[in-house]
Structure formats: C-alpha cells, structure tokens
Amino acid sequence: MRKLFSILLCLILLTGIVTTGFAIEDPTALTVPAEKDGGLDDGTDDITTDGKCVIKKLTVSIKGCGELYLDSINGDSQEAGEVHNGDIIEAPNHAQIILTATPGDCCEFIEAEVNGNKLTVGSSMDPVTLTVDLDGNKKLAVCFSEILHYNLAYGVDGGGWIESNVSAGSVTCGSLVDLTAYADPCWGFDYWSGLPEGVATDASSVDFYMDDDYTDIVAYFVELDLPMLTVEVVGNGEGYTNPPSPIEMPCDDSMSIEAIASPCSIFIQWEEEDGTPISSEAIHDFAITVDTTVYAHFELSDETYPVSWSTAGEGTGTIDSGEFEQISYPCGTLIELTAEPDMCSEYSHWSKVEGGTVSGSTITFPLMATTAVTAYFDLKDDVTLTVETAGEGNYEVSTTSVTVACGEPVSVTATPGDCTLFNGWTGVPDEVLDPTAETITFDLYNDMTITASFDWDPQMSTTLTVLTAGDGYGTVSPASATAPCGETIWVSATPSSCSLFEGWSYEPGGEPFNSNRMIPYMMDEMDQTIYANFSLNPQADPVTLTVRAVGEGDGDATIIGWGTSATVTCGTVVTVTATPGACSEFYGWVATNGASWFMETADLSVTFEMQGDLDLEAVFMPLYYELTIATNGNGITDPEGPLTVTCGTTIMVEAIADSGYSFIDWTGDVDEGQETQTLIEVQMDQDRSITANFTEPSPPPIQTGGGGLIVRHTLTISVEGNGTVDPFVGSQNYNPGTLVDLTVTPALGWTFAGWFGADGAEVVNEQIEMDDDKILIARFETTILPEAPPLEAPEIEIPLIETPLGDGDLPYTGQAFPIESLGIGLIFMMVGTLTRKNDDQ
C-alpha cells in the first residue's frame, strides 16, 4: 500500500506530462534518454545566431524522505552539491548531468521521471545514480517513501534463553533492540548468528537499530564440563578433605564435603578467598555451577607430649639425638634420631613409631602422642677386607680378600713391578698414618674395601730386543725398540720362502706365547728380549738366483761357480762378486724382487744362504771429478769454475784479463808446458784445481787542485774455501754512503758459512754500507767433496764505479778531485773513458 501511495503522489506531481514507462536493467544507474519534451523545447540548437552557447534547464522535483546530489555536468564536478526541491540546473544544450538519489533513514528510493519518461526500477534502500542527457529544457521528478516497520525474529540453539527489550515480530524502523543470552545450568553461551554487520557475535549482550528485517538471529549455547571445587588449606595447621581436592561437582545439585584435621591440628571454618566465613561445620554442602575455589582453615593445637629413647639387642651402641632431649615437645614436633653402633656391633632396626620413616640408621617421626623409641644393635660376624687395584702398570698385591674376627689386625702389601710406580692406598682407616707405604697394617672392625693405585713410571723407558731363533730363516721388524714404560709397540716376523714361522717365545725355541706373525707388545718390563722362531720348510721348492750389472757406469756381476744365474735348493750358500770398470765405481747390491731376507750391501763380494728366489742388481755409477777454477787479479775464465765432469773428460779453459790488466800464468794442477798459455787443456782423471793469475794496472796519476775534496772508500774482499763472490776478490772503491750488494756462490760440495773479517758483522741482508774502508772475508766450508785449498785473495782495485764527477774511476782511497777543478777532472776522465773503450774494442 505504501508503494502505491508513493506512486500516486508522483503522478500528481507530474500532471500534464506525457509519460512513457520503460524498464532499466541496472537499477542503480539510470540514464534518461534524450526525447522530445512535449513542446517545451525541441533541443535541436546548440549555438545561437550570435554564436553563443545555448543554455538549457533541468527543473528538479523531490518528493519523500530522501536527498538528491548533483555529481557532475559533462564530467565536471565543480558544480557538485545537494539539489533541493524546485531547484533548476542550467547547462549547455546536450550536456550530460549525473545525479545521485540517496534514501534517508527508514526510507527507500521509489522511482524517477524525466518529461514523462517514467523509470520503474523497484524500490532500493541504497543510493541510485541518475544520468540525464539535457537535449532541451526538462523536468526531473524523484520519489522516496518512508519505511514504517521491519520484522524481528530470534531463537536459541542449546540450553539457554534470550531476554529482549522488544517483542519479536513487526518492529518500528529505527528502534533500538537489546538482546541478552542467558545460559541454563551446566551450559555456557557460545556465539550469535544473524546479527547486523558490525555487531560483536561473541558477547552475550548485544544491541542494534532496526534498519532491516532481522529474522534469523540465533544464540548458540554449549554444554559445559562439570564444575571443579578446589579446596586449599590455610592457617598454620594441616588437614585434608573427603573427597580429596579437587572435587568434580554436579552442576545442578549440591555435594557434602568434609574437612578433616591432621594430628596436632584443629578445623576452624570454611572460608572464601577474602576470608569471609562460609561455615564452621567440618561437613558442608556445596553447590556450584562454575569452577570454584574455597579454603579450609586449620590451626595447630597447643598440646605437648614427652619423648624418650633407649637401646637394646646383643650388640651395643649409642643414639645421636642432635638438638633433642628426652622431654616434652609441642604436638607435631618432628623428631630425628640416629643409631650409632659401637665397634664390632652393627645397627639392626628401630622400634615402630606411628608416622615414622627410617633411612639407614636414622628415624624421623612427628610427635603425636607420648612416644618411646628403641634402637636395636647386633654383634658383628667375621669382617672381610677386599683389596682392589687401580691404574696401569706391572704390579701385584699380597691378597685380594681376607676375612678375620671383628677387631683383629690385617696386613696387606702392594708390590710395583718394573716400570711401575705405587701411588698409594685409598679407603684405608685413619689409623693408617702413611697411606703411601707399600705395606700397611690395621685393625679391621667392619667390612672394608681398599684400593692400591699404580701407574707407569713416566721417567723410565725400556728396550725391547727382537731376535730370531731356530734352523730356519726370516726377518723381524723392528729388531730393537725403545719406548716409555707402558707403551705398546707392534713387532712382526717374516719367514723366508724356505722357512716356516713357529711363533714368539721368551727363550730361543721356548714355549710360544703368541703364534701370530704380527703382534702388539706392551713394554711393561725393563730391557726385554723376545724371539721369533723359524724352522726350515722341507717341502720348499728350489730357488733361483740371477745377477746383472746396471747403472750408468761399467762393470760385471757374477755368481761364483755359476755365472749370472743359478737354481739351488733352499739354504744353499752362494757368493756373488761385482767388478767395476775403468772410470766407474760400485754402488751396491739391490734385490729387485722384494726379497726382504737379503741384506743389501755395498761390498764387492757377498756370501749368503739362499732363502728364496732372488734377483740381484749390481749398480755401477760413473766416477765424477771436480775442477776448481780460481782467478788471482782482475780477469775471468771461460768456463768459470767449479766444474763437475765424468772421469776421462778433457776440458778447455781460457784465461781472459780485464781491460787494463794482463794474464801472467796458470798455477795449480796444470800440465807442464801450459803454464803461460791463456788456453789450456785439463785432463780430468782426478779432482784438480787451477788458478789464472793476472797483473795489476799501474795506478792513475793523482788529481790535485784547490778547494774541497770528494773522498771514496775501499771495499776489500777475500775468500776462504771454494766459491766465488760478487763484487770480485780484491779492492773496489765506492762513494760514501753507497749500499753494496754482496752475492756468494759456493763451489760444488761447499756451503757458504758467512761473512767474516774486520767488518763482517756490518753485513745486513747481504749488503754493506760504505761509510768507511771495509774489509770482508767470504768463508766457505766443505760438505761432501774433499776440502780444496783456499783461493788466494790478492788485493786488486777495480776502477769501475761511476762518481758524481762523470764517467771515470777513482781507484784509491784518499784520492780526490778539487771541486773548483771539476772541468779539468772531467777532461781527464773523458780521455780515460775513450781510451778504455778503444782498448775494449
């Protein structure tokens, strides 16, 4: 009826307008089509004759409880705002106008018409968008209608009910609804369903406004577990409940709970948490629906009781009462007593006491009444001493167990063996004054265990000698070993192919203690000897011996009586001989087929017993000789020495003097007639040493002049032993402050021992600073080759050091050029340099 009423109002409002209704598929976006306006305006012209834009009008009529808003004109939102009933919206012809119709509270949008075009879209409580194409003057009518009532319905699921401020059914729009869910006993509220959006569903009480139909509201309840009653004890007394706490209670009925006081305590009352009394009766009926805690109040009684104790039995002893005396104590006092047997007695038991507990020989009990307690003791039977050992080493004890009458003396001895230290006794009684003594004696009153501790002596080592025995043959490894006491080493025995291993023994041919070829052996005694026993194998096959000469040298290898190959029975004695050729030497015999029983040797002739197949090589190597070549003076040799060459080699050696120097002669191992020849032949049939001697140049004239002088220092180097140095042997001049690099090259079989002489200590990182005249000796020491005679080190001055004055040399210490005569000095040096270059050419 309310919708029909609203439609009639809108028809009255639009009287005289020709309407043609049509449906819109999307009710929230309404576009009014551009049609004729019933003679108001044909809307065909956009521009006037004078060139101005044609303006059209949209007259707005609003009926009902809603509002209309202008959103945009041709997409421009500058004129946006609320539109009221009777307002006229002006816009260019053919403009598109976007409006929004918004229903108010308890209101709904009904319909809109433009120039008789009725838009029927059904009611809507949400905002509706209207689009009007202004192709002429138009009228827009928008209709809203009030909503008077909504429907409300609610229910429950589970044990509970709902309390509401309004009745279910038709409820006035906008009314505030309060709903509260109440659970039945043993049930609990869970959640709501069907509430308006935004209302909490987990609260048992909710409220909301009727702005729609709400007919599916349900309050859900869940069945609860049975409530638990927890009883806690308060006060300085003690007690408990029947039934014991915690107690599972019926949720819709009561249960009787009894408070029971412990001995020496009295029940006062039942209380709430804040101390509010519930009941002073020990038995009380409780009825709860949720978990609840109550308090049982107990206080200690003020009664006192006497306590006493005594001993009994065949044995004797005492009672340690600690702080307690045989008097009266308050009820509940915790008494502790310990029974202590005398010598040769032992604790048996305590008499029974209510509430008492026994741990060992100690009884503990609460004093609940007049109490007398007795400790019983028995006489001991025989007592036993157990002797144990600990640690490592070679040792023994005189006994491991001894049993005697209680109180009788016992004696025990610990004896350390070789390599072992005795550390002492542990667990012995206090009467043993020196527990480190090997023998101790004391009276035994109780079963007792004592321990003797030993350890290997870390200061001692022992030697094991491994020998072979028997008529067979084999090898052992190692033949001898020295190790700290207590260490384990591995020894092995390997029989030859003609023999059998019979085992290890402590005596030759003795009873074997182990038959394995490889065994671990502990070094637990001083200087031990063990034997690997071998026997001949009567079933052994014949064995073959072959010999041959190998190596870079020449020589022959022979089996005496056989040649180079022999097949014999195991144990046959054979002799092999090696004969080196000229310029060769014999290196040694080598077994190439892994015959470890053969002892390799460098003897030319070897005799041995055949213990298996054997391939022997006689190794020959060529002889090498060394030619040591030295120089005396300023010059070099080609080649430079030392040289190591094979025996019989002929070497050509040439002496070449430095510029300004002359060759004198050769000295040393030079064939007669070649002493003065610069190029000589040296036949290397032994180690040889030769020296090329050169003359010294005449000293240059001393340059003089007035003014300051530039002084140069002399470095003099000589050599002891065989080797070369750079700078050369002799004397060289350097400017003050020059760092001179020193290089040494030992001859074959020699090593550099260091720099010596007056200034040897000033050599740092193979350099020396020329801050004064220096004297150095390069010392070489022989290693393998025989010591050669030391090189002569004549002092030779080599004027090859450039100076700040230009090209030239100042060969002598103290020689200088006057600074103001630099021009003359330069001329002399240039002439000297040109002359030297011509000499070099």
Is 60 exceeded by the pLDDT of residue 549?
A: yes
Does residue 743 contact residue 719 with C-beta atoms inside 8 Å? Answer: no
pLDDT at position 45 is 59
Q: What is the helix (H) or strand (E) element at residue 350, kind and residue range?
A: strand 345-350
Is 60 exceeded by the pLDDT of residue 836?
A: no
Residue 702 lies in a domain: no
Q: Which three-class secondary structure state does DSSP give residue 224?
A: coil
**Shared domain check, 196 and 141:** no
pLDDT at position 697 is 61
- Rounded average pLDDT over 101-129: 84
Query: Which DSSP letter does residue 32 get?
Result: E
pLDDT at position 49 is 64
- Rounded average pLDDT over 552-557: 93
Does residue 295 contact residue 267 with C-beta atoms inside 8 Å? Answer: no
Q: What is the helix (H) or strand (E) element at residue 827, kind and residue range?
A: helix 822-840
| 284/619 Cα distance (integer angstroms) | 117
Higher pLDDT, 186 or 757: 757
| 77/100 Cα distance (integer angstroms) | 13
Higher pLDDT, 840 or 247: 247
| 263/68 Cα distance (integer angstroms) | 89
Residue 832 lies in a domain: no
Does residue 568 contact residue 530 with C-beta atoms inside 8 Å? Answer: no
Domain count, the chain: 9
Does residue 257 contact residue 232 with C-beta atoms inside 8 Å? Answer: no
Closest to 24 in 3D by CA, of 155, 128, 105, 174: 128
| 730/794 Cα distance (integer angstroms) | 6
Question: Which residues does residue 779 pair with via DSSP β-bridges, in sequence order?
Answer: 720, 754
- The full DSSP string for 474-531 is EEEE-SEEEEETT-EEEEEEEE-TTEEEEEEESSTT---SB--SEEEEE--SSSEEEE
pLDDT at position 824 is 31
Closest to 519 in 3D by CA, of 506, 542, 503, 538: 503
**Shared domain check, 136 and 9:** yes
pLDDT at position 12 is 37
**Shared domain check, 726 and 814:** yes
| 806/821 Cα distance (integer angstroms) | 13
- CA terminus-to-terminus distance, the chain: 140
- The full DSSP string for 49-117 is TTSPBPEEEEEEEEESS-EEEEEEETTB-TT-EEE-TT-EEEEETTEEEEEEEE--TTEEEEEEEETTE
CA–centroid distance for 109 within its chain: 76
Instruction: For residue 686, give its domain range.
Output: 624-694
**Shared domain check, 815 and 752:** yes
**Shared domain check, 97 and 7:** yes
Is 80 exceeded by the pLDDT of residue 533?
A: yes
pLDDT at position 41 is 47
**Shared domain check, 337 and 201:** no
| 599/365 Cα distance (integer angstroms) | 88
Listed residues 300, 325, 353: the one ending a domain:
300
Which one-letter amino acid corresponds to residue 684? M
Structure tokens at 202: 């987990």
Q: Of the ranges 31-40, 608-617, 690-699, 832-841, which one carries the lowest mean pLDDT score? A: 832-841
Structure tokens at 758: 């007056």
Is 60 exceeded by the pLDDT of residue 785?
A: no
pLDDT in tens, 305-340: 999 999 999 999 999 999 999 999 998 889 999 999
Does residue 217 contact residue 177 with C-beta atoms inside 8 Å? Answer: no
pLDDT at position 832 is 36
Query: Which DSSP letter does residue 706 get?
Result: S
Q: Of the ranges 689-698, 734-743, 758-767, 816-825, which one carries the lowest mean pLDDT score? A: 816-825
**Shared domain check, 634 and 616:** no
Q: Please report where in the chains the tokens 């040289």 appear, as a residue.
A: 643
pLDDT confidence tier of residue 779, bands split at 50, 70 and 90: very high
Is 80 exceeded by the pLDDT of residue 30?
A: no
Structure tokens at 149: 């009532």
Listed residues 274, 300, 326: the one ending a domain:
300
Residue 708 lies in a domain: no
Residue 701 lies in a domain: no
**Which residues make Cβ contacts (< 8 Å) with residue 87, sequence separation at least 6?**
59, 60
Residue 700 lies in a domain: no
Q: Which three-class secondary structure state does DSSP give residue 840?
A: helix
Instruction: Count CB atoms within 10 A of the CB of residue 664.
Output: 17
Structure tokens at 734: 């350097």
pLDDT at position 11 is 39
Residue 833 lies in a domain: no
**Which residues make Cβ contacts (< 8 Å) with residue 737, sequence separation at least 6?**
769, 770, 771
Mean pLDDT of the chain: 84
Q: Which three-class secondary structure state does DSSP give residue 241?
A: strand
pLDDT at position 381 is 85
Is 60 exceeded by the pLDDT of residue 800?
A: no
- Rounded average pLDDT over 38-54: 60
pLDDT at position 221 is 94
**Shared domain check, 527 and 472:** yes
Q: Of the ranges 47-51, 493-497, 650-654, 762-766, which one carries the lowest mean pLDDT score? A: 47-51
pLDDT confidence tier of residue 48, bands split at 50, 70 and 90: low
Question: Which residues does residue 557 pair with via DSSP β-bridges, in sequence order?
Answer: 578
Q: Of the ranges 432-446, 521-535, 774-788, which one carries the lowest mean pLDDT score? A: 774-788
Q: Report angle CA 535, 536, 542 to the nearest 5 degrees.
A: 155
pLDDT at position 2 is 41
Residue 834 lies in a domain: no
Does residue 570 contact residue 540 with C-beta atoms inside 8 Å? Answer: yes
Does residue 622 contact residue 646 with C-beta atoms inside 8 Å? Answer: yes
pLDDT at position 536 is 85
CA–centroid distance for 810 within its chain: 69
**Shared domain check, 159 and 210:** yes
Listed residues 253, 277, 300: the one ending a domain:
300
Q: Of the ranges 45-54, 218-227, 272-281, 450-459, which one carries the lowest mean pLDDT score? A: 45-54
- Rounded average pLDDT over 331-359: 92
Question: Which residues does residue 605 pair with via DSSP β-bridges, in sequence order?
Answer: 577
**Shared domain check, 740 and 823:** yes
Q: Report angle CA 362, 367, 369 to the nearest 5 degrees.
A: 130
177 burial type by CB count under 10 A (0-12 exposed, 13-18 middle, 19+ buried): buried
Closest to 752 in 3D by CA, of 719, 793, 795: 719
- Rounded average pLDDT over 823-830: 32
**Shared domain check, 50 and 126:** yes
Is 80 exceeded by the pLDDT of residue 169?
A: yes
Q: Which three-class secondary structure state does DSSP give residue 227?
A: coil
Query: Which DSSP letter does residue 660 get?
Result: T
- Rounded average pLDDT over 701-711: 49
**Shared domain check, 43 and 71:** yes
pLDDT confidence tier of residue 350, bands split at 50, 70 and 90: very high
pLDDT at position 571 is 81
Q: What separation in angstroms does the CA of 780 have from each of 193, 641, 717, 732, 774?
A: 109, 15, 14, 21, 20
pLDDT at position 667 is 95
pLDDT confidence tier of residue 839, bands split at 50, 70 and 90: very low
**Which residues make Cβ contacts (< 8 Å) with residue 518, sequence separation at least 6?**
490, 491, 492, 493
Residue 33 lies in a domain: yes
pLDDT in tens, 483-496: 998 899 999 999 88
Closest to 730 in 3D by CA, of 776, 810, 636, 796: 796
pLDDT in tens, 572-582: 899 999 999 98
Q: Which three-class secondary structure state does DSSP give residue 7?
A: helix
